[in-house]
Amino acid sequence: MTATLDQVSAGRVRALIGAGWFEPEYRQYGWEFPPGSVRVEQLRDAVRILRGMLAANGPFTYQGKHYSVHGAVNTPSPARTIPIEVGGAGDRMLRLIAAEADGWNCPASALANIKERAEFLARACEERGRTSSELRRTVQIVCAVGDDQALQHPALANFAPQLGLVGSVDTAARRMSDLIELGFTGFYCIVPPGSNGRACFERLVNDVRPRVLG
């Protein structure tokens, strides 16, 4: 599916995955919810398999601790090698990102410590002989620009809404500018449900973004 979408979008797809964290989702689908260390190991296998399968190099074989493929073929091939980005903020996750990934997505739950987490990732990258600037750095963040009532919606509660792109247009613009100064160039926005969320996002695109980027 990812490769097909890459073809349809003329090479604009980015794959972003994580180790999983929300136990009810696992239970709903009948999956075991292993300890965090195991989920990180599973993610490492998944990243390596995705990297091989989305590189358009023909049959791919990988023997991992948890997941393996043998002469697997991905058809259609992607339009180009698709970057593999990973979301997470724990030490193990950031070390994995430094070793394996093309990008880092900082989850909203880590926004309060985002500068320290970015510094940790930079050190982990140096240990791997690379710089964190090689990674595309993005952030998961609530967007409720100009709508304090929508900001209170319970669907946003798990995503540090008070640290999002919220408040007035000027306030949201300053918040976005601060994150860009830290090296974040992409924003995966969580908006309130319904028409209020659409209006918040439109204010972000039409009012906040021009003030930040000119």
CATH number for 103 = 3.20.20.30
User: Among 33, 64, 82, where does a domain finish?
Assistant: 82
Helix, strand or coil for residue 61? strand
Same domain, 165 and 111: yes
- Are residues 159 and 56 located together in one domain of the fold? no
Going by C-beta distance under 8 Å and a sequence separation of 6 or more, which residues neighbour residue 38? 66
Nearest to 50 by CA among 34, 38, 67, 35: 67
Return mean pLDDT, the chain: 95
pLDDT (tens digit per residue) in 48-98: 999 999 986 779 999 999 999 999 999 888 888 899 999 999 999 999 999
Q: Are 194 and 120 within one domain? A: yes
Closest CA to 44 of 68, 26, 71, 23: 68
pLDDT value at position 57?
A: 73
pTM of the model: 0.92
Which of 38, 58, 82 terminates a domain? The answer is 82
φ, ψ (nearest 5 deg) of residue 184: -90, 125
Specify whether 95 is located in the same domain as 35: no
**How many folded domains does the chain comprise?**
2
d(CA 49, CA 35): 21
Task: Name the residue with higher pLDDT: 14 or 126.
Answer: 126
The predicted-structure confidence for 93-120, as pLDDT tens digits, reads as follows 999 999 999 999 999 999 999 999 999 9
Q: Are residues 161 and 204 in the same domain?
A: yes
Tokens of 72: 């697997």
Pair 44, 63 in one domain: yes
Q: Provide the residue range defining the domain that includes 41.
A: 1-82
Shared-domain flag, residues 75 and 149: no
106 and 184 in contact (C-beta within 8 Å)?
Answer: yes
H helical segments located in the chain: 2-8, 23-28, 36-53, 91-100, 114-127, 148-151, 169-181, 194-203, 209-213
Same domain, 62 and 124: no
Domain end position, chosen among 27, 53, 82: 82
User: Does residue 33 carry a pLDDT above 80?
Assistant: yes
> Is 201 found in the same domain as 145?
yes
Strand duo 68-72 + 60-63: pairing? antiparallel
Residues 98 and 58 in one domain: no
Q: In this structure, are residues 137 and 118 in contact, taking their beta carbons and an 8 Å threshold?
A: yes
pLDDT 10s digits, 180-207: 999 999 999 999 999 999 999 999 999 9
